[in-house]
């Protein structure tokens, strides 16, 4: 996008859906530190969010010390697009970073005045760093869909800063990303897990779900180590700590989808004496709001071009809607948009002639339940709710009453009783698309798509060979492989 067009876009009258605000700094005095604890592929499947199967004592304690947000959502259900957004404070669709793993090597730069939020913290005097979990000397995940400016971080560990210098730090935890790491000390009985109704009740599904929950327990332990380090170094009282997932769980109808499993995340904020302890906030929050909130709390002026706004502290604003987008993921071309209010979610499928389960090498390699669904669908053994996701086409529009239908099973788009609700949400989505200059309306060049298709095909063949399997394996034989891997 040209600079003139971009600046005009973010200053448009339709910007009521954006932030467009310059927030007054929260406080004077010693600058607080900011610490982001980011877990990959994590939905609110923690004990403090009501999951009675999983054990997360550290995050439960952390939530009791801070404020837990119950309706937090990312702007994209896949890592690179989601991170491109919350690391710039701009919707990925507004800055050309919406296609998963796009622009990684072609020199694509962010349009001015957009920059990484680390640069804003650096200009405010903070040491900015990013580490890989508990490996404090190893750089943490970035995975942005643009070429970053030189030296986006000053280091990997806040101990590398000057004495007394405030820091903005990120600790990235990959434990909840596939392949899952089981919790040998506190194993979860697959028979005890509660599967969503769009999953078949099958030993493979139960074991896979239990493995995900066990990885959350291992994550919890590592988060506890990071919080303990902060405490032992005497930094806990003057550090704004924000824990959140980069997008939802890596399961069918989760990651890469705009259902609740793909975009709803845990979000907990702690700052002793400044953020209320033990509070539970049900307000809608978008990951586009993370940067403005951290800046406002830390006393940093929030740039006007940021498209989110603070959800805590002075100058906080309440949302009526959150928006999310899914575009090409790896080799799989798609375009889906959604808007969610407190009660309803409206989803628009731009490729309604395609199945939900377009082939995707990553999913076929990593999601055992996808293969399970394919096999049971052929056998006619799925419930109507499960079979709908295996349909050869999709509806153009989907509308769900999340109060009555939290698993998004009953599409109300054709309901006469919900016609007004559908029109309202559809209009809000149109307004957001126009206000943010959604670049998903412009198809990618065919050569880019072909590149990712070739790469994914080659990668799929290589990884199947590493498993001792042919690339054209039948779904039935693939399911047998998963059963041997997970159940023996």
Q: What is the overall mean pLDDT for the chain? A: 93
And the tokens for 141? 């995940």
Rounded to whole angstroms, the Cα distance separating 245 from 44 reads 9
Q: Give percent of the chain above pLDDT 70.
A: 93
Specify the CATH number for the domain of residue 114.
Answer: 3.40.720.10
Rounded to whole angstroms, the Cα distance separating 273 from 93 reads 37
5 inside domain: no
Do 365 and 292 share a structural domain?
A: no
Do 346 and 230 share a structural domain?
A: no
19 inside domain: no
Averaged pLDDT, 280-291: 98
Rounded to whole angstroms, the Cα distance separating 434 from 439 reads 10
Task: Report pLDDT digits (tens) over 22-73.
Answer: 444 445 568 999 999 999 999 999 999 999 999 999 999 999 999 999 999 9
Do 246 and 137 share a structural domain?
A: yes
Task: Report pLDDT digits (tens) over 305-326.
Answer: 999 999 998 889 999 999 999 9
Do 364 and 271 share a structural domain?
A: no
In the chain, the number of structural domains is 2
388 inside domain: yes
And the tokens for 256? 């890469």
Do 223 and 275 share a structural domain?
A: yes
Do 391 and 281 share a structural domain?
A: no
Per the CB < 8 A criterion, the answer to whether 32 and 235 are in contact is no
Helix axes 475-487, 203-232, angle to 10 degrees: 50
Do 228 and 141 share a structural domain?
A: yes
Do 376 and 306 share a structural domain?
A: no
389 inside domain: yes
Q: Give percent of the chain above pLDDT 90.
A: 89
Per the CB < 8 A criterion, the answer to whether 257 and 358 are in contact is no
CA 358: distance to chain centroid? 21
pLDDT level of residue 369 (50, 70, 90 thresholds): very high
327 inside domain: no
- Structural domain harbouring 290: 32-320
Do 348 and 316 share a structural domain?
A: no
Do 241 and 177 share a structural domain?
A: yes
Do 65 and 145 share a structural domain?
A: yes
17 inside domain: no
16 inside domain: no
Among residues 320, 352, 380, the one where a domain terminates is 320
Rounded to whole angstroms, the Cα distance separating 204 from 487 reads 7
26 inside domain: no
Per the CB < 8 A criterion, the answer to whether 72 and 269 are in contact is no
Do 207 and 89 share a structural domain?
A: yes
Tell me which residue of 125, 44, 58, 86 sits closest to 311, measured CA to CA.
86
């Amino acid at each position: 996008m040209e600079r003139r067009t971009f600046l005009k876009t973010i200053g448009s009258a339709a910007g009521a859906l954006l932030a467009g605000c310059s927030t007054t700094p929260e406080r004077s005095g010693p600058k607080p530190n900011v610490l982001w604890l980011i877990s990959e592929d994590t939905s609110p499947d923690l004990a403090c969010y009501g999951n009675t199967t999983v054990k997360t004592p550290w995050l439960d304690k952390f939530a009791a010390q801070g404020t837990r947000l119950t309706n937090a959502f990312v702007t994209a259900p896949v890592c690179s697009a989601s991170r491109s957004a919350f690391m710039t404070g701009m919707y990925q669709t507004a800055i050309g970073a919406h296609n998963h793993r796009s622009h990684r090597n072609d020199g694509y730069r962010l349009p001015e005045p957009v920059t990484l939020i680390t640069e804003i913290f650096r200009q405010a005097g903070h040491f900015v760093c990013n580490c890989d979990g508990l490996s404090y000397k190893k750089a943490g995940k970035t995975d942005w869909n643009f070429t970053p400016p030189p030296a986006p971080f000053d280091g990997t560990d806040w101990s590398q800063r000057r004495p007394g210098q405030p820091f903005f730090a990120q600790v990235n935890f990959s434990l909840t990303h596939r392949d899952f790491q089981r919790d040998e000390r506190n194993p979860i009985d697959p028979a005890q897990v509660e599967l969503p109704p769009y999953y078949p009740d099958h030993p493979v599904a139960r074991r896979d779900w239990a493995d995900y929950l066990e990885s959350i327990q291992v994550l919890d332990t590592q988060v506890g180590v990071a919080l303990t380090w902060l405490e032992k170094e005497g930094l806990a009282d003057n550090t704004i700590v924000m824990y959140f997932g980069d997008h939802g769980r890596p399961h069918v109808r989760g990651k890469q989808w705009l259902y609740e499993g793909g975009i709803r995340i845990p979000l907990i904020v702690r700052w002793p004496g400044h953020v209320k302890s033990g509070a539970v906030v049900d307000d809608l929050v978008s990951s586009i709001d993370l940067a403005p909130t951290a800046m406002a709390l830390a006393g940093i002026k929030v740039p006007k071009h940021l498209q989110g706004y603070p959800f805590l502290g002075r100058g906080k604003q309440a949302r009526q809607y959150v928006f999310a987008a899914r575009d090409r993921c790896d080799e799989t071309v798609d375009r889906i948009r959604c808007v969610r209010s407190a009660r309803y979610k409206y989803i628009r499928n731009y490729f309604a002639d395609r199945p939900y389960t377009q082939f995707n090498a990553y999913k076929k390699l990593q999601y055992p339940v996808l293969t399970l669904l394919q096999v049971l669908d052929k056998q006619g053994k799925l419930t109507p709710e499960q079979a709908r996701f295996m349909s050869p086409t999709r509806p153009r529009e989907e509308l769900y009453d999340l109060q009555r239908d939290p698993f998004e099973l009953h599409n109300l788009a054709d309901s006469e009783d919900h016609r007004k609700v559908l029109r309202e949400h559809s209009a809000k989505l149109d307004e957001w698309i126009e206000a943010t200059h959604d670049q998903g309306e412009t198809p990618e060049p065919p050569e880019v798509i072909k590149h990712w298709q070739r790469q994914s095909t080659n990668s799929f063949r290589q990884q199947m060979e590493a498993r001792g399997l042919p690339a054209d394996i039948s779904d039935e034989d693939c399911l047998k492989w998963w059963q041997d891997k997970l159940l023996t």
